[in-house]
Amino acid sequence: MKKELLMGTALVSTLGAASVAEAVTPTMSGNHQTGLMFSDPSTGQETRSQINDNNFTVSLSETTDGGMTISSSFMLMNEAGGGSSDEDAGFSLAFTDGSKLDVLNAGNASGSHDISVPASAGAESVTVTTTNKAPTGLDFAAGATVYGVEYHTASDFLTDGLSMSFSFSTDNNASSTSTYASDGHAAFGGTYVTDLGDSAVTVGFGYSAGEGSIAGTGPSSDENGIHVGVSAVTGDLTVAVGFADGDDIASAAASTPNQEVDASVVKAGVKYVTGDLTFNVGITAGEGKDNTFGNSGTGNDDSYDKTSASISYAVASGVTAYLGYSDVDSNNEGQNDDTDGSAWYIGANMSF
């Protein structure tokens, strides 16, 4: 009940502050990306396909007489592929001291501060078997629901160069069935920025923890995880590395809809910009031990090792051409995954 009262208070405060006399200010942005992907799986026939990614976003914002900015947004995605939308955004309140509060669909404070690690900027992808639970992202243990709030501090919080976020979310009050349901989630994260000689250094870190169950039965290890990463920019060169470790509840095959996964991942990458050209190289190495729900991860290793690279060229303002390559080697339950392989991509993106 205490969580629900806090959520209700935050939402009422949000709506009560929106006493702005005139209509909100809309802005629009989006992109159209299209290209060709050439896939070479470890087994089976080589294929080629056209890749489309079309997004249109409308952002809404207004500032009260007291200086607080209220904003929200919605998105239309991949319209050429049949159409879909993302309309579950909540409200964001930006205060005059530089802090911000996100209400509803607020996300995860840990994931808000994971370091961006360079990798291929192309749209190529390599499929691995769905039962392979090795993670590929630094925020894989983030299990927040849309019923949450996230508070972002102003910059120079506690010390120069530090900013932090804190979040929590509740469940949807639905009965726990054969599908894992989250009962609650809390997280914090931070970003520290400083200069070391000629390099601008950014350190990101976070911790996430959640509880949940299946039909009233809890896991042996609830969802939780940490991540830390460092990025250094020296002139036109960016070098970054990140590490994450934790326990996750993941969906698997229909016969085992939820599993516990004890996993970790390391990511590293380099980006170099020279004139209108940008070169990216990245690696990802993830490992995970999955087991049935209610049992800790003690099975054979799943693994995911990816190497990717790309060249992008700024053709004109808002128009970028890409050439990308990715190679994935994966293992599932200690056995080679014959659905991995490599892929090339050549295409362009137009954004506004």
How does DSSP assign 197-230, residue by residue? TTEEEEEEEEEEEEEEEBTTBPPSS-SEEEEEEE
Tokens 């890749």, residue located: 51
Residue predicted with more confidence, 261 or 251: 261
- Whether pLDDT at 69 is above 80: yes
Look up residue 59 and give its two tokens. Answer: 């952002």
What are the tens digits of pLDDT across the range 130-151?
778 888 999 887 778 888 899 9
**What SS3 class is residue 156?**
coil
- Whether pLDDT at 9 is above 50: no
Look up residue 343 and give its two tokens. Answer: 């892929």
Average pLDDT estimate for 8-19: 47
Among residues 325, 235, 314, which one has the least CA distance to residue 282? 325
Q: Mean pLDDT check: name the lowest of 144-153, 176-185, 237-246, 335-344.
A: 176-185
Residue 239 and residue 217 in contact, taking contact as beta carbons nearer than 8 Å: no
What are the tens digits of pLDDT across the range 15-51?
444 444 458 899 999 999 999 999 998 888 899 999 9
Calculate the average pLDDT of the chain: 85
Among residues 316, 178, 198, which one has the least CA distance to residue 254? 178
Alpha-carbon separation of residue 223 from 139, 178, 210 (angstroms): 12, 17, 5
Which residues share a beta bridge with 262?
A: 247, 289
Average pLDDT estimate for 51-61: 90
Please tell me the pTM assigned to this model: 0.83
- The pLDDT value given to residue 294: 66
Residue 202 and residue 191 in contact, taking contact as beta carbons nearer than 8 Å: yes
- The pLDDT value given to residue 6: 45
- Whether pLDDT at 67 is above 80: yes
Q: Mean pLDDT check: name the lowest of 47-51, 98-102, 172-176, 282-286.
A: 172-176
- The pLDDT value given to residue 18: 44
Average pLDDT estimate for 2-27: 55
Name the class of domain 2-351. Answer: mainly beta
Return the domain boundaries, the chain: 2-351
Distance CA 41, CA 48 (A): 11
